[in-house]
Amino acid sequence: MEIHTRHPRPIPLGTKELGPISNLAPFSALIISIVLVICFFVRFYILEGFLIRRLYGSIYTEMSELNRRGFVNHHIAGATKVIILIVGAYPFVSVAFCRGPSFNTPFVHGSPVTLGDILIIIAQMLIGIYIFELIYRMKLSPVAVLHHVGTIFIGQAAIAISLRPLREPDAYIEFILCCVWGAFDAVFELFPHVAIILYRIFPEQHHFLSKVFLFSCFTTALGTITETVVTMWLFGSMWDRWRLAFKIVTPLLHIAFSAAQIHGSLVFWRMYRRQQRFQREADSEAKDSFVGGESSASYYRSNSQS
């Protein structure tokens, strides 16, 4: 009743009882092991085995090993995020923003699989692709490393504190906030994977790439702003339910994630400007070549007439 007194119109999440996220939570290590094994099989036997070469031919075979690994990783990460969005959209929206459903609600009527089960699985899928990227790629920026490592530890900690003997009272809503971060990451960080793939396929299409990178810059920036609004709205609306430690740590974590996303937007902005510069140089060379050709033709005609 205290929550209803302070918040006459509480958000649906604030009206739900705390409880175990899923019966699968204790098996998180097994789930993420399966995710990593699947990533290996897809990478080794399908993508590197035959599919990438058939799709891209010499574009892929002529890449350096550094670029090949990044190229393959963007395919795996992008495809995984699409699966996460398709499978996880309904459970996430239902639990986070609707009044009725909770973690224990069946995913489909009469099914033993619950919404919490699905959220646990897709959380491990997102964490899994970050672990895979840290292990597989040859080069990563310090910001990317910090972002991935932070996501891995925070995501797993949010699940761990919901289990006995810890079972923190804030675990339920902390996991939902982690799902919010993951949802925005999957939505707004999906196109950048496509952008880098296009960059490797069409390296000389500077005008096209400048538009791609500008769009990537805007989408990541928009994602950061929207994520901040939604996260802080949820966080503030449930202020009475947070303990002091979470009241301090949660905003700090969000600032760290936002800083990494802003860094990504700046990287795409610099790539956009770089492609613009390449396009101007190409236009200038084409113009000089055209003028030179016209001058040669005029000189030839004048000599012929004389």
- In order along its 306 residues, the chain shows pLDDT tens digits of 444 444 445 566 666 665 678 999 999 999 999 999 999 999 999 999 999 999 999 999 999 999 999 999 999 999 999 999 999 999 999 998 888 788 989 999 888 999 999 999 999 999 999 999 999 999 999 989 999 999 999 999 889 888 876 667 677 888 988 999 999 999 999 999 999 999 999 999 999 999 999 999 999 999 999 999 998 888 888 888 788 888 888 888 888 888 888 999 999 999 999 999 999 988 888 776 655 555 555 555 555 555
Q: Is the dihedral of CA 69, 75, 81, 87 positive or negative?
A: negative
Return the pLDDT at 117: 95
Tokens of 60: 């892929």
Q: Burial, 146: exposed, middle or buried (Cβ in 10 Å; 0-12, 13-18, 19+)?
A: middle
Query: Measured between alpha carbons, how far is 282 from 286 in angstroms, rounded to an integer?
Result: 6
Quickly count: other Cβ atoms within 10 Å of residue 123's Cβ: 26
Query: Measured between alpha carbons, how far is 128 from 182 in angstroms, rounded to an integer?
Result: 12
Query: Measured between alpha carbons, how far is 302 from 306 in angstroms, rounded to an integer?
Result: 6
Lookup result for tokens 């840290």: 134
Query: Measured between alpha carbons, how far is 194 from 192 in angstroms, rounded to an integer?
Result: 5
Residues sharing a CB contact under 8 Å with residue 303, sequence separation 6 or more, in sequence order? none
Residues sharing a CB contact under 8 Å with residue 92, sequence separation 6 or more, in sequence order? 119, 179, 183
For the entire predicted model, the pTM comes to: 0.87
Residues sharing a CB contact under 8 Å with residue 133, sequence separation 6 or more, in sequence order? 73, 77, 140, 148
* 92 in Cβ contact with 214 (< 8 Å): no
Q: Is 159 helix (H, G, I), strand (E, B) or coil?
A: helix
DSSP 50: I
Return the pLDDT at 214: 97
* 143 in Cβ contact with 263 (< 8 Å): yes
Return the pLDDT at 275: 96
Tokens of 151: 């996501």
Query: Measured between alpha carbons, how far is 199 from 187 in angstroms, rounded to an integer?
Result: 20
Query: Measured between alpha carbons, how far is 198 from 220 in angstroms, rounded to an integer?
Result: 17
Return the pLDDT at 288: 67
Query: Measured between alpha carbons, how far is 214 from 266 in angstroms, rounded to an integer?
Result: 10
Return the pLDDT at 291: 57
DSSP 9: S
Query: Measured between alpha carbons, how far is 219 from 222 in angstroms, rounded to an integer?
Result: 5
Return the pLDDT at 163: 84
Beta-ladder partners of 114: 106
Return the pLDDT at 295: 54
